[in-house]
């Protein structure tokens, strides 16, 4: 065979460069992982925002109760408002807390201190003397005169801050 009679062969053909779409399976997995992490982070941020807003609202209400007591001292009204506020907060932790009365209510309050945040005083202490039933006593009852409003408000503030922390980690 003569070289001039041979068909002309073309050089090796390279495949075209790969396109950017569709991505390789590894990129799909990375995108899925980032999506899951993003949803998880948004959920945590949303929960933290709700808890922070709830805490700010509850502590503002506590400040209103304390301010109202400072303007017009009425221990029965102060204790009733404080007890109502604590009950609403306690319902966030345990819906059955709203039905507790007397010693069971005090046990619940004293049992829900966050670890390491329990103060020297408790809701059974002298600062909260008669707290369990003070809202149901007449205004002129001598037991109401023994209620230490600033100490009780400080105790409630610490407890509410602990509840907000517990809700944030729930």
29-59 confidence digits (pLDDT tens): 999 999 999 999 999 999 999 989 999 999 9
34 lies in a domain? no
With left for phi above 0 and alpha for psi between -120 and 50, is residue 52 left, alpha or beta? alpha
19 lies in a domain? no
Between these two residues, 102 and 118, which has the higher pLDDT value?
A: 102
Q: Are 156 and 109 in contact (CB under 8 A)?
A: no
Distance CA 38, CA 46 (A): 12
pLDDT of 3 strictly over 80: no
35 lies in a domain? no
pLDDT of 8 strictly over 70: yes
pLDDT of 129 strictly over 70: no
Q: Return the percentage of the chain with pLDDT > 90, whole number.
A: 28
39 lies in a domain? no
Q: Which pLDDT value is given to residue 57?
A: 93
Between these two residues, 116 and 106, which has the higher pLDDT value?
A: 106
145 lies in a domain? yes
66 lies in a domain? yes
Between these two residues, 13 and 165, which has the higher pLDDT value?
A: 13
Q: Crossing angle for the helix pair 149-169 and 75-93, nearest 10 degrees?
A: 10
Range of the domain at 118: 53-169
Q: Domain tally for the chain?
A: 1
Q: Rank 7-21, 41-55, 89-103, 114-128 by mean pLDDT and report only the highest.
A: 41-55
1 lies in a domain? no
3 lies in a domain? no
């Amino acid at each position: 065979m003569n070289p001039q009679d041979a068909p002309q062969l073309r050089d090796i053909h390279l495949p075209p460069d790969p396109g950017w779409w569709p991505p390789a399976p590894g990129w799909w997995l990375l995108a899925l992982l980032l999506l899951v992490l993003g949803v998880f982070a948004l959920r945590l941020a949303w929960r933290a925002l709700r808890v922070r807003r709830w805490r700010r609202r509850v502590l503002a209400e506590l400040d209103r109760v304390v301010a109202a007591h400072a303007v017009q001292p009425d221990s029965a009204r102060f204790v009733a408002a404080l007890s109502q506020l604590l009950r609403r907060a306690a319902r966030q932790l345990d819906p059955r807390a709203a039905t507790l009365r007397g010693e069971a209510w005090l046990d619940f309050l004293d049992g829900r201190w966050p670890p390491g945040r329990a103060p020297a005083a408790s809701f059974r202490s002298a600062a909260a003397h008669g707290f369990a039933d003070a809202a149901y006593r007449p205004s002129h009852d001598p037991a109401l005169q023994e209620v230490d409003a600033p100490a009780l408000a400080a105790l409630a503030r610490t407890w509410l801050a602990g509840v907000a922390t517990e809700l944030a980690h729930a």
